[in-house]
Structure 1
């Protein structure tokens, strides 16, 4: 098995990332389009982390930091590469990024019905907070 490499996404990667999410992520959102991801990478070039193995995209995570809180989105691992430590490596890289930036607490958006993801997040030390409920409003159609 070839070595895993984690690096920030570049603008040239975005088409590949969007196609990857359609295959490896559970659903998409209104911001999962080229314009949305281009804005993310332009605003915070280190936020979208890619895991590559053998030159192929094997996983992603968005590790966003707004100066106050650390937010994790789009942790996704290609189905053929799951259970090989890629998700854990991506989370470790995200947490290292947060520590460098001064972040003190990470929160993750995880689909309620994605039991496989719940297991992975718990294994990484994250826990659901029952007292908080996320309220969402699309800002554009």
Structure 2
């Protein structure tokens, strides 16, 4: 099943978009939970600043969720930077919860 490019439009103007893909991990990835072996992943979610806090992001995530459910996927995930507190709060309001922490070091 393919991913989707979803748009939010008002008049003739695109005011937001969401890209969702279906990821499938190799069967050898035994350490993964079953729900993570095939999952939906939001790779991009953008809402024009003038149109934020109007439910557009929620509607795009809802459409991405529906696409994934229709594809037989049981889990939707996304990533955001640790310092992006506004996005993290918004995603948690939408029902997402933190799952993984990635540590980095500059070389």
**Fold in common (TM above 0.5):** yes
Of residues 65, 68, 73 in structure 2, which corresponds to 1:98? 68
> Helix, strand or coil for the counterpart of 1:72?
strand
- Residues 10-89 of structure 1 mapped to structure 2, 5 A cutoff: 44=2, 46-67=3-24, 68-89=38-59
Structure 2 gaps of 5+ residues are 25-37
| Structure 1 Cα separation of the partners of residues 57 and 94 of structure 2 | 9
| Structure 2 Cα separation of the partners of residues 106 and 135 of structure 1 | 22
C-alpha RMSD of matched pairs (Å): 2.0
| Structure 2 Cα separation of the partners of residues 111 and 78 of structure 1 | 19
Higher helix share: 1
2:33 alignment partner in structure 1: none
2:93 alignment partner in structure 1: 123
Q: Please, what TM-score do these two structures have when normalized by structure 1?
A: 0.59
| Structure 2 Cα separation of the partners of residues 49 and 134 of structure 1 | 28
Structure 1 gaps of 5+ residues are 1-43, 137-141
> Helix, strand or coil for the counterpart of 2:73?
coil
Flag the structure with larger Rg. Answer: 2
> Helix, strand or coil for the counterpart of 2:8?
strand
Q: Please, what TM-score do these two structures have when normalized by structure 2?
A: 0.76
Q: Report how many residues are paired.
A: 91
Higher strand share: 2
Please list every run of at least 4 consecutive aligned residues from structure 1 whose deviation after the TM superposition is greater than 4 angstroms. Answer: none
1:39 alignment partner in structure 2: none
